[in-house]
Structure 1
Amino acid sequence: MKKFISIIFCILFVSVSLPISSFANDNNIGFTIQPELPKNQKDKKVSYFDLRMKPKQQQTIYVRISNTSNKDGTFRFRVNQAYTNKSGFIDYAEDITKKDESLRYDTKNIISYKSQVRVKAKSVKKVPIKIKMPAEKYDGQILAGIQVMKEDDSNSKKESIKNQYGYILGLRLTETDESVKREIKLVDVKPAVSFARTSVVVKLQNPTMDAIGHLKYKAVVTDRETNKVVKKVSYDKDMQMAPNSTYDFAIDWDKKPLEPGDYTIDLTVSDAKNNKWNMKENFTITENQAEQVNKVAIGKVPEKTDWTKWIIIGGVILLIIVILLVIWYRKKNSPHQVRK
């Protein structure tokens, strides 16, 4: 039987302002992790790596794994670059292979580590992670999450679910305290299925090396032909964008089918630092796009009545009626025949 994977994460790096929850006790998952904070830890009050680095600097940092279970364990390591997830928040749980074109420093080129380690039962092991900083000096930050997963060593063929448990530990690399001018760009607008619903999706880009938090969104979609507002939404959920990332901002069509046509979107994004970005873009929903999205999100969409054939049939019937009326009229008004 095909095995499914159940994953439980304890996120230790959750906000754009980088607050960290305290390390949970074992949590019944059989292990804990803890960073060994080095001397160049910038903020010593937090429980994640917040390192002040220099260009070309090489450094090894350590994560301690405490295997509290009665069995030896295998642990998988992965360092994931920060990205903006589909809900509009900074995330580290996945290894995004397609990075944004604005990304200057990929963590894959900066950070190296063993992808798998073995820790004996009731013991602690220090796992090294090597950092090699870029040669160029930069302002801003490189954000990543150190993901530690415990593999299920069960070899039972009858088992249909394979459990994995893990933590994500934050890693922030900075070189200066210089502020970075924030920027958000509109890249594209298109109809799409988002969260299994009919939507218009706006692809937004944060091309800077700064994490942006407390974002609020207001969008108005107008039909260009009628100048009528067809959709108006507002999201005030303190959303976020990771450095050098994109976010697909989805405007939910409230389970209604998309209609083909020419539209304009007026989108305003603001943050807590009084930055405001107003973006306006024309876009088109073609008949084919509307049909494809509606079929996936709604199911079988009732076909629009084709009135052409009914107009032709009606025209033919009307013509026949006119001809019959003309014949009747002529017969009625024709001279009387001479009787014999």
Structure 2
Amino acid sequence: MNYLKQLFLAVVCLLAGIVSAVPASADDDGQVGYNIQAILPENQVNKENSFFDLRMKPNQEQTIEFVINNTSSEAAEFEISINQAYTNDQGFIDYADKDVPPDSSQKYLINDIATTDNKVTVQASSSKIVPIRLKMPSEQFDGQILAGIQVTKQPKDTKAEKGRISNVYGYVLGLKLTETDQEVPRDLKLLGVEGAAAFGKTSVVAVLQNPTMDAYGKLKYKAKVMNKASGEVEKEAAFDNHMQIAPNSQYRFAIDWGGDKLVAGDYTLDLTVSDAKENVWEFTEAFTITAEEAKKINEATIGQAGASDWPLWLYVIGGIVLGMLILGIVWYGLWKKRKPHS
């Protein structure tokens, strides 16, 4: 019986280890411990917006401010960066990555316009006003400059926490700069088509560029990839979920290959993109996937498929079921051993 107890405890410890491996979400931590708020100036275009929506002039210099409220019981250090708007791989405007290379059409870089302190310390249960200095370009422009003021609370660097995974929380406060109400004519360019690994899957990617200083919303995509030799349709894709593209940015529109291997050969892409203003862009582009490219992409995606694609909760359930099965087998064996022979 002692043997059974020891085995039971071992299985319980094993299951506890599996469950504890599930990463905690932000909600599990309760409160983030801080928040930020814009102090809207007089040249705020729309007073109902909680982000900075500023009407500026050429050469204008201005200092705007926002507040960091530290609601925790300890002093905290915050990292601040001002990031140019870009289009993420999901097809939406984003501000969270400060290292995205600027597009070739980008004329005005936000880091040449807006500057602030990189790090700020705020004492426990207190607030601090952070200034941002703006210096507009000398020439007037139509359209908009979009950016995000990213504020990230830094984890405590203590000996007790070294070697442990720390959750890092961040907020982004929008910054929109305009000088006129003149509407910018919209444009969209197809820079190229290529085989690629996108979202860990074999894909064909169309690289699109918005070369204008305007943000587009409610975009719809329809795509068809055909074998150039046979004319047969290899894959089709359609997206109608209010996608976006940032000013002066690129979007890598990925056509999922459905888990199939990419095959070397010549192909043609037919792509149609439309927006809510009844603009329609139609592209037809021939492209080639070489044998070397196909092999590299297939090995990086299909070769890695399998257990790594399973969600973590399946492992948890599998571990629990396995533990119960082991306990059942052992219990049955001991019961059978104790049962008197007839």
Deviation at 1:163, TM superposition (A): 2.6
Report the TM-score, using the length of structure 2 for normalisation: 0.79
Higher strand share: 1
Corresponding residue for 2:80?
Answer: 77
1:231 maps to amino acid:
K
Quote how far apart the aligned CAs of 1:156 are. Answer: 2.5
Spell out, residue by residue over 1:112-155, the C-alpha distance to the aligned partner (whole angstroms, 9 max, x if none): 10000111111111100000000010000000000011112240
The offset of 1:9, in angstroms, is 8.7
Note the residue ranges of structure 2 that are not aligned, 5 or more in a row.
1-22, 306-342
Report what 1:206 is aligned to.
210
Could you tell me how far apart the structure 2 residues matched to 1:52 and 1:7 are?
Answer: 42
Change (3 A) 1:279 1:74: same
Distance 1:77 1:217 in 2: 35
* 1:91 matched to 2:97: no
1:31-81 CA-to-partner distances (Å, cap 9, x unmatched) read 111110000000001100000000000000001111111111111110010
Partner SS, residue 297 of structure 1 = helix
Work out which of the residue numbers 216, 225, 231 in structure 2 matches 1:227: 231
Match of 2:293 among 284, 289, 292: 289
Q: CA deviation at 1:239?
A: 0.6
Letter of the 1:64 partner, please give it: V
CA contact (8 A) 1:7 1:165 kept: no
SS at match of 2:167: strand
Matches within 5 A, 1:171-182: 171-182=175-186
Q: For residues 109 and 208 of structure 1, what CA distance do their matches in structure 2 show?
A: 19
**2:22 pairs with 1:57:** no
CA contact (8 A) 2:26 2:32 kept: no
SS state of the match for residue 186, structure 2? coil
Is 1:217 the counterpart of 2:221? The answer is yes
- Structure index of larger Rg: 1
Q: Distance in 1 between matches of 2:200 and 2:67?
A: 41
Deviations 1:235-283 (A, max 9, x none): 1111100000001001100000111111110100000110000011000
2:184 match: secondary structure: coil
Moved more, 79-88 or 95-104: 95-104
Distance in 2 between residues matched to 1:215 and 1:276, nearest whole Å = 10
Once residues 214 and 167 of structure 1 are traced to their aligned partners in structure 2, the CA distance between those partners, rounded to angstroms, is 25
Moved over 6 A (4+): 6-10
Question: Structure 1 pair 196/97, CA: closer, same or farther in 2 (3 Å)?
Answer: closer
Which amino acid is 2:35 matched to? T
- Matching of residue 193 in structure 1 with residue 168 in structure 2: no
* Amino-acid identity (%): 51
Is 1:250 the counterpart of 2:225 in the alignment? no
Please give the residue correspondences for 1:32-181 in structure 2 after superposition, counting only pairs within 5 Å. 32-159=35-162, 160-181=164-185
1:294 Cα deviation (Å)? Answer: 1.0
Find the aligned partners of 1:116 and 1:8 in 2 and give their Cα distance: 25
Letter in 1 for 2:197: V
Question: Is 1:239 the counterpart of 2:243 in the alignment?
Answer: yes
Q: Aligned partners of 1:141, 1:124: CA distance in 2, in Å?
A: 31
Give 3-state SS (helix, strand or coil) of 2:266's partner. Answer: strand
CA change 1:272–1:7 in 2 (3 A) is farther
Q: Partners in 2 of 1:158 and 1:49 — Cα distance? A: 37
1:250, 1:175 → 2: CA distance? 35
Q: With structure 1 as the length reference, what TM-score do the two structures score? A: 0.79
- In the alignment, what sits opposite 2:273? 269
Letter in 2 for 1:261: G
Higher mean displacement: 292-301 or 174-183 = 292-301
| Distance in 2 (alpha carbons) for counterparts of 1:247 and 1:57 | 32
SS in 1 for 2:292: helix
Aligned to 2:329: none
